[in-house]
Amino acid sequence: MRRWLALLVAATTSLVLVALLVPMALLIRAVAENGATSRATTAAESVAVAVGTPELSLALEQVARPVTVFLPDGGRLGEKAERSAAVRLAATGRSVTAECDDGGREVLVAVQSPDGTVVIRVYVSEDELWRGVREAWLALLGLGLALVVLGIALADRLALAVTRPVDGLARVSHRLAGGDLEARAEPGGPPEVRSVALALNHLAGRIGDLLAAERESVADLSHRLRTPLTGLRLDAESLRDPEEAARIGARVDALERAVSAVITDARRRSAGRESCDATAVVDERVRFWSVLAEDQGRAVTVALPEGELPVAVGGEALAAAVDALLGNVFAHTPEGVSFTVRLAPHPSGALLTVSDDGPGFDPALLARGTSGAGSTGLGLDIARRTAESCGGRLTVSSHGGAIVEMVLTRP
């Protein structure tokens, strides 16, 4: 925008200056020619006064410019000059001004004497006709360029006063899009831009209010669903047929896990930008699952960095993702199968790897909601969405066992 305004002002200023300076330059040229011609005419008239008197020769000597007097008898006094067509015309009694072949000008004054018409010729050189014109034109050109530069500078300052607040609005909008709901624009610039800044701030506040209301709704939903789920579980346990009770109980457990996953995901999306120390979260969750691993005779290998490793994921969300991955190990591998948990720095932030020595994954069963063990199949999807929520990714492979890698970005 700044460049377009500068170009617009430069073009407009140039057109105005051309319309103004070109006539002024022509006027300066005409004034210089008229001045030189007027001075030559004055010199010719001063000589014309002495025509027919003995002082004619003295008058010629006193004129400080080339003057030639053509007498009626064909004689000539003063500077040597040819009797041109203009001289012959002036000999008829007419005073004229004529252009010369060398770019100069001759001023001819006809004076009547008893012997006939005397023609006084005063030569004006081209240099005298152009004296001071080129310098004046250069001055006008410099003035025009200075005005154009000044106009561009003023336009740039004016454009900057408009574009700087607009750039600020763009930065704030990008921060809001990235989840920074505390970002606010600083009203400034023209009234229209200030109005947009105030509207953007109002929108950001409204978004925060809506997300807060959503969090409250999610919390309320979790409480409302707990009661009917508890009732279903009690009804399932009260069935007389053990197989039917186990089957209904499994369905209730699957429903509870699915609902928990939905609520966890909604809370994560409503909570805005969060971060945590991945080292502390992974270490805490591995310690929790290690108790069950010891009961099942599973060997656990843990490799964690010595210091903190911050990632752009909330602690609860990362803990849920780790639980989902470790829960898959216990759910889909036989007892006694060992597994490894590694957390290491990554160019993007952190790399969490969970691998086991089990049979590995069936590629056909890796879609969302699909499982080969009767579960909901949402474990990997929860981990995947956790990674993608911060701009990371999740990859799954089988090389002598299942290998799940989560790349988490830094905050």
**Per-domain residue ranges of the chain:** 2-129, 274-409
Q: Name residue 169's amino acid.
A: L
Supply the pTM of this predicted model: 0.46
Query: Where would I find the beta strands (DSSP E) of 169-314?
Result: 276-277, 300-303, 310-311
3-state secondary structure 262-274: HHHHHHHHHCCCC
- Rounded to whole angstroms, how far apart are CA atoms 85 and 225? 119
Tokens read off for 171: 């930065």
> Among residues 123, 119, 121, which one has the least CA distance to residue 51?
119
**Pair type for strands 339-345 and 300-303:** parallel
Q: pLDDT class for 332, splitting at 50, 70, 90?
A: confident
CATH code reported for the domain at 2-129: 3.30.450
- E strand or H helix at 112, and its extent? strand 105-113
- Rounded to whole angstroms, how far apart are CA atoms 329 and 404? 11
Tokens read off for 61: 């000597």
CB 159 within 8 A of CB 1: yes
CB 258 within 8 A of CB 376: yes
* Res 352: pLDDT: 94
End-to-end CA distance of the chain, in Å?
33
CATH code matching the domain that covers 274-409, chosen among 3.40.50.10580, 3.30.565.10, 1.10.3080.10, 3.40.190.10: 3.30.565.10
Question: What is the radius of gyration, based on Cα positions, of the chain?
Answer: 50
Q: Over the stretch 187-244, which tens digit does the pLDDT of each residue have?
A: 887 888 889 889 988 888 888 888 778 777 766 666 677 667 777 777 777 777 888 8
* Res 362: pLDDT: 60
* Res 264: pLDDT: 64
Q: Over the stretch 202-212, which tens digit does the pLDDT of each residue have?
A: 888 888 888 77
CB 315 within 8 A of CB 325: no
Q: pLDDT class for 11, splitting at 50, 70, 90?
A: confident
